[in-house]
Homo-oligomer: A and B are copies of this chain.
Amino acid sequence: MPDVVGAHNAGERGNPPHRVVIVGGGFGGLNAAQSLKDAPVEVTLIDRRNFHLFQPLLYQVATGSLSPANIAAPLRGILKGQKNTRVILAEATDIDARKRRVILSDGEAPYDTLIVATGSSHHYFGHEEWRPAAPGLKTIEDATAMRRRIFLAFEAAERETDGERLREWLTFVIVGAGPTGVELAGALSEIARDTLRHEFRRINPAAARIVLVEGADRVLPAYPPCLSAKARAKLEGLGVTVKTGTVMTDIRADSVRVRSGDQAEAIAARTVLWAAGVEGSPLGRALARATGAELDRSARIRVEPNLSVRGFPEILVIGDLANCSPPASQPLPGVAQVAIQQGRYAARLVRARLQGQGLEPFRYRNRGNLAVIGRAAAVADLPGLRFNGYLAWLAWLFIHLINIVEYHNRLLVLVQWAWNYFSFNRAARLITGDNPLPFGG
């Protein structure tokens, strides 16, 4: 197997530098790499993709507000000035913890320190058969596929002459009322009521039914109850049917079944969007096999307080894949803030160890949570401050804008948000993909 790391500094081999391999270029991995700038180490960042993705705005791609490139930044571009860092486009398939190397589909990467930051993927509560009917939202491809489904549903409805099927095409079910589910529901309502207004001749897009299904007893379960209530009221004001305390029991191409307590209900719908369960990415399972690390219920790696794997202090796990909380307590939420802080912590730990020192355990500083519900509506749960409405929405806009990597993307996003806001339009609502049209034929 070719060694993809070895040639970093071929030539000056007197005192081989400490090799840090980071797998995953999301918020955690990228921040770890950036925080190792100018450190006396050789950093290799491995990702399957050539870009960092700003996932909190992925739902805006799925709903036609932004283009994929607006929320993505090429990893090589971000890191090109960082001389101790190399980027490798490759798929990591396994970890050989004894020999200290990452196994790639076409090579291997030996490490002295390994930082695993491969995040999470969807899971369907044991119902893998739901996946084709209810796509999730983790990648650019997920987002353009979801966009395709949403806008094709209205096109199919315009072509439909059968009343029952017409209703199926105009019913959208969103599973999970966390921030993504709430954001999708609000955006769908705007698409139906504003964006597509006057664009169809047979159907009235505003007649679309949007159903948000959540197993917990309120929307945004991770937020304070008072904000959940505000969010629910706002969603209902937007015409969204909110079903809390309700679980999915079946998902098919033209209908879903839900249960609320003893009551079962079938909803005829051809578009189901999955914003519910996530679990640790497959590399996490490989790491658990290789190290004996424990996985939690969501396939996250249970790590030590300093984010390392028990018995393998040179392996750190950060971001959505890591569970650093004591077994009985609630794990940290799978949000960008946690991953960013853990990435920076991991880099600090590497630097400290090189100087023979340790580091206090990782501690998450919660800077607050924001979820947008729709046009000029959001909820904010900041330390010591809870508010909602227009001001929360402005805070959301501002915080997301300044956190987007690369200046020009900030400008592009700002231009499009302003235009979308004032025109009620969504310019990026392209139906792409080579698949045939799903109706007729």
Contact = CB atoms under 8 A, between A and B. Distances in A.
A437 to B, nearest CB: 6
Contact of A423 (B74, B196, B408): B408
A429 B159 contact: no
A288 interface: no
Interface string A68-79: 111011101100
A142 to B, nearest CB: 10
A441 to B, nearest CB: 4
Contact of A415 (B69, B89, B408, B436): B408
A384 interface: no
A199 B437 contact: no
Interface residues of A, number: 67
Contacts of A49: 430-431
A48 interface: yes
Contact of A196 (B76, B106, B140): B76
B155 A89 contact: yes
A357 interface: no
B48 A106 contact: no
Copy number in this complex?
2
A239 to B, nearest CB: 21
Nearest to A65: B69
A427 interface: yes
A91 B437 contact: yes
Contact of A159 (B74, B106, B158, B406): B106
A69 B106 contact: no
A141 B415 contact: no
A439 interface: yes
A159 B67 contact: no
Given A49-B431, A155-B50, A437 B67 contact: no
Contacts of A158: 88-89
A297 interface: no
Contacts of A416: 408, 412
10 contacts: A2-B159, A67-B68, A68-B432, A74-B429, A76-B200, A77-B199, A89-B437, A104-B440, A408-B415, A412-B415
Interface of A: 2, 4, 7-8, 48-51, 67-70, 72-74, 76-77, 80-81, 86-91, 104-107, 140-141, 144, 151-152, 155, 158-159, 161, 196, 198-202, 406, 408-409, 411-412, 415-416, 419, 423, 425, 427-434, 436-437, 439-441
Given A51-B431, A67-B70, A76-B199, 20 more contacts: A4-B159, A50-B151, A68-B432, A69-B428, A74-B430, A77-B427, A80-B199, A87-B199, A88-B158, A89-B152, A89-B159, A89-B437, A106-B159, A106-B441, A140-B430, A144-B432, A408-B416, A408-B419, A408-B423, A408-B425
